[in-house]
Amino acid sequence: MSNVPIIILKEGTEEVREREARKQNITAMAAIAETVRSTLGPKGMSKMLVDSMGDVTITNDGAEILKNLDIENIAANMMVNVAKSIDEDIGDGTTSAVIFSAALLNNALELIEQDIHPKPIIHGYKIAADKALEVIKEIAEKISRDDNEILKNAAKTAMNSKDIAPLKNFFSDLALKAVKHIAEEDGNTFAKVSNVKIVKAPGKSLKDTELINGVYTQKEKVNMMMPDIIKDAKIAVIRRKLDVKKTEFDAQVRISSPSEIQKFLDQEEKILLDYLKIFKDLGVNMIVNSSDISDKFGAYLAKEGIAGIKNVGESDYKSILKAVGAKLVDDLTSLSEDDLGFAETIHFEKLGDDEYTLFSGCKNPKSVSILLKGGLDKILSTAEVSLNDVLSVIAKIIDTKTVVAGGGAIYIELAKRIRAYANEISGKEQLAVNAFALALEEIPKTLIRNAGLEEIEKLTELRASHKTADDKWVGIDTITNTIGDNFKKGIVEPAELINHIIKSGSELANLILRVDRIISAKGSKPAGL
């Protein structure tokens, strides 16, 4: 046989193999981590993001920064997706997840450059992650949904690195009340966080923000003559066009005399008056319609002192149903007293440039609103993102009922126990398990660095402080720059957050380490560049 090479790929296809392929992928992912690294912790820095339209956003929220980055690199996008999944599943911790993933990959790259094959590294990372999850389950503090002090502390911890941190006492109390309103015993409070509606109202200051025992919807009343305020509201939530029905097919009506015209108009009016009678007989004084209400019928309603809003979107009318306790009705003839909802007050008002309808004083509402006030729209937008994170963290803890100490305490304790576990393992996997422990320390190390403290000195002090099982919650408080028991200080976060960071970070690292070749089609950008 001749030694002529066999070409199986099209001309122009680029190929990167083995060590170089891994290095390119890991370098790209490390670049993402460096972008958000300085934002971690109470003393983290902010980033200024300028979009293609020239709009400027200043934020230190990791999820918000990653969402706004225009990334073409495939490997880097995978890391961004991991961060997004944590934000969706927990509501916080995206920056920590990115830093941990990048540290695992950088440590793996060092081992690969020492001629250690990726297979034992992948296996070592897997058993280390399993051990870490086992340790978290063992040492996490169990709480009940009524441990309000711990829930507030978790909210404050989540806010420490946010722009609303100066008002963390105020917002932690408000957020806890909001989540308690929507929480049920089914252990699925996190899925109901969307039932807390945040409405931005420019003007005044953030500390004037208030929790409304009801719901806001961005809708104005159908007719200007309708009342601005309705007391003791009986509310019908319907999905029916309140107008004269048009025929589905083209039709002609032959009229031969003026009296027949009047009969035709009278018949149309009778249809509308029949609708009106249904509402009047039940004492309804507020109509929420997901469909249309004609101007003519709106005038009839206004004359009777009945208010109404129309074309209400699905998410809005579902929030209203939960708040007022009504049932959605399609057929008006079946509307009964049992289908109606109730609110002490319905108020039509203008917030900023928009018209809103406020349902307040609802009995046992499963949907509430936070009226977020602030001087500038940029401040309101940043506060809204932060408040959503805080609501999610509280809801996740209520569901899982487990917390750990923040300020790097959990990562130092895990690193200590993983190192001890590594001594029980032989072979090259031991090196990978130790590399995993080192990656865990990258998060407290970053907290220390961002606080402007001496990195080696403080990290050594932290390690030395974890002598016994009683020292498991010793961490760094970067607000006071002291090392101590962070659980007693009230620096806590969901145990589920740490679980998610470890699982997703190790899985992503192992996925990238399995890649030994990058094949890029002609004209495409190589994945690792």
Give the active site residues: 61, 94-95, 389
For every residue of 33-76, DSSP letters joined together read HHHHHTT-STTPPPEEEE-TT--EEEE--HHHHHHH-----HHH
What HEC string does 468-517 produce?
Answer: CHHHCCEEEECCCCEEEEHHHHCCEEEHHHHHHHHHHHHHHHHHHHCCCE
**Bridge partners (DSSP) listed for residue 49:** 57
Q: Which of 315, 319, 312, 317 is nearest to 368 (CA)?
A: 319
- How many helices (H) and strands (E) in the chain? 17, 19
* Residue 34: both structure tokens together: 């460096």
Rounded Cα distance between 118 and 22, Å, is 10
Instruction: Give the up-direction half-sphere exposure of residue 314: CA atoms within 13 A in the CB hemisphere.
Output: 0
CB neighbour class for 325 (10 Å; exposed up to 12, middle 13-18, buried from 19): middle
The DSSP element (H or E) to which 365 belongs, if any, is none
Helix extents (H) in 401-470: 409-422, 429-440, 442-450, 455-465
Contact indicator for 32, 66 with CB cutoff of 8 Å: yes
β-bridge pairing 492-494 and 402-405: antiparallel
Rounded Cα distance between 447 and 462, Å, is 12
- Whose tokens are 């015209």? That residue is 261
**How far is residue 456 from each of residues 56, 384, 453, 484, measured CA to CA in Å?**
37, 37, 9, 17
